[in-house]
Structure 1
């Protein structure tokens, strides 16, 4: 997460005095402001000798937050942006790509939901391999449960290149593996840290003309958010909403396809439903639910939510162990 200290150079009002005041209330980062009662904070500021300066600091932080929000766009601007910048990236599974109308859409957050062993991570690994191979692009992979498998990536590349061109396949494997940046993230706070560092790198890459990041994968978002939900505090819910907003902001501003994994939990009448509840349900642009035939490599994807495809549409595809 962006620490308050990092804002001091651009905004001198956020000095050590203001930072110390915030720290005394458990506020160390910009995200902390999003989950804090600012009316209570302002009331405490009123009681301090430098109350006016402290209130100016609070106002400055709110201005920084507002400046980071996505600007309003009319329908024509959105249509032109979609046509010119928001392309589709193939997942490597023809059935999934067809179901999605072309693949993973840049600028959008796609969520894959499913029970354990339904093929969720396989889709992530195959998509990472396919984007790095066919689009000469970088992939940013956030691994929350030690599920990233370089051996599986290698298997996809070797399967694609074939044994008759082993040397070419080896060169391709090196290129693909160097294009996928994998980061282990085990809690929500580390997650924010990594995303802010990614944002910094993305702002820099536009000036360097280097291969750009086109796919961001989080396997899985529910592993990070589930532990902070529950109880009487609203902090977990606020962090969940902030995480979703930040992912969508990165997707839109940098034309990146974002793919996140979510687990299922028990629902009514013994049926399963996506984890993280109703508030998270509105975050993804696209939701796919996966299931797998017992004892088989055949999987089925069903649309739960899509802006241009009908809910309930399905496609079958095969994964290779």
Structure 2
């Protein structure tokens, strides 16, 4: 989350006095500012000797936020953006690619939800392997459950490579260098890394990033959702909209995984609740028959494909 202190250098009104006033009311970042009752904040500012300056600071922060909002686009501009920039990245599984009309789409936040051991991580690893092998640019892989497997990446690359190709080892090395893995275990580290990535992409430093994978996002968010406070909910929404912003502004394909929890009358449902349900552009439900090893993917939400549509496939195991 962007701290208010980061604005101080360019905006003198957001000085230490203003920051201390905000901090006394639990406001440390721009995101905290947005979810606070601004009318109440203005009333509280009235009680201070330098109330006018504090209210000017509130207005200053609001104007900064407004100036950084994206301009409105008409339908033709949005269509051009989709056709020119929002391409699909192949997952490496022909059945999944055909089902999704090409694969995981750039510019979208795609969520893969399913019960434990249904193959979510395997889909992520295969997708990361294929994107790193087939496209220029890096794959950022945020691992929250110690489930990232370099060995499995090598297996996938070997399966997708021509056995007669003498360059197989070079391809494996290139793929492994193109996948940047971070182990993260809390929502605050995730938000920090997302802001670092946002700044890096904005400044065009380093290699192009084609895909961001978070396996799993629910294990990072669920621990802060307990209790009756709104702070955990605000963190979840902040993470979700930051991911969507990264995807849209940088034509980045974002893939996250989510687990299942018990719902009404024993029926499982995706974790993170109703508020999160509306954040991803695409929601895909994954299941697997552990006897036949056949996986099934169905659409819970998609801007282009019919809800309820499904397909079966098999994730190839290693040699």
When the two structures are superposed, what TM-score results if normalisation uses the length of structure 1? 0.93
Measure the CA separation in 2 of the matches of 1:69 and 1:7.
16
Contact kept, 8 Å, 1:35 with 1:235, in 2: the verdict is no
Task: Report which stretch shifted further, 183-192 or 244-253.
Answer: 183-192
1:176 aligns with 2:172: no
What is the CA deviation profile of residues 12-64 of structure 1, one whole-angstrom value per residue up to 9, with x for unaligned ones? 21112222222222322222223333333222221122211111222222223
Equivalent residue number for residue 304 of structure 1 = 300
1:259 to 234, 255, 263: 255
Distance change >3 Å, CA 67–CA 91, structure 1 → 2: farther
Determine whether 1:269 maps to 2:268. Answer: no
Task: Describe the shift of the 1:2–1:141 C-alpha distance in structure 2 as closer, same or farther (beyond 3 A).
Answer: same
Correspondence for 2:233? 237
* Residue in 1 that maps onto 2:157: 157
Could you tell me how far apart the structure 1 residues matched to 2:227 and 2:66 are?
29
Equivalent-residue separation in structure 1 for 2:113 and 2:13 (angstroms): 45
Aligned mates of 1:215, 1:68 — CA distance in 2: 24
Q: CA deviation at 1:163?
A: 4.6
Greater Cα offset, 36-45 or 73-82 = 36-45
Deviations 1:99-146 (A, max 9, x none): 111111111111111000101111111111111110122111111111
Q: Could you say which residue in structure 2 is the equivalent of 1:106?
A: 106
Q: After superposition, what is the alpha-carbon deviation per residue over 1:56-100, rounded to whole angstroms, capped at 9, x for unaligned?
A: 222222223333433322111110100111111011111111111
Residue 213 of structure 1 is matched in structure 2 by 209
How many residue pairs match? The answer is: 317
Distance across 1 between alignment mates of 2:278 and 2:70: 17
| Worse overlay, 259-268 or 27-36 | 27-36
Q: Is the 8 A contact 1:132 1:139 kept in 2?
A: yes
Q: Is the 8 A contact 1:90 1:103 kept in 2?
A: yes
130-139 vs 179-188, which moves further: 179-188
Is the contact made by 1:110 and 1:286 (CA closer than 8 Å) also made in structure 2? yes
Q: Is 84-93 or 265-274 further displaced after alignment? A: 265-274
Note the aligned Cα RMSD (angstroms). 1.7
Q: Per-residue displacement from partner, 1:236-294 (whole Å, max 9, x unpaired)?
A: 22222221111111111111111111111112332211111111111111111000012
Identify the range of structure 1 (290-299 vs 79-88) with the bigger mean alpha-carbon deviation: 290-299
Aligned to 1:130: 130
2:151 and 2:64 map into 1 onto residues whose CA distance is: 43
Report what 1:249 is aligned to: 245
Q: State the match for 1:289 in structure 2.
A: 285
What stretches of structure 1 move > 6 A for 4+ residues in a row?
A: none
1:228 aligned residue:
224
Give yes or no for contact 1:70–1:249 (8 Å, CA) kept in 2: no
- Structure 1 unaligned blocks of 5 or more: none
> How far has the Cα of 1:162 moved from its partner?
4.7
Q: Give ranges in structure 2 of 5+ residues lacking alignment.
A: none
Whole-angstrom distance in 2 between the partners of 1:96 and 1:251: 21
Preserved CA contact (<8 Å) 1:35 1:239: no
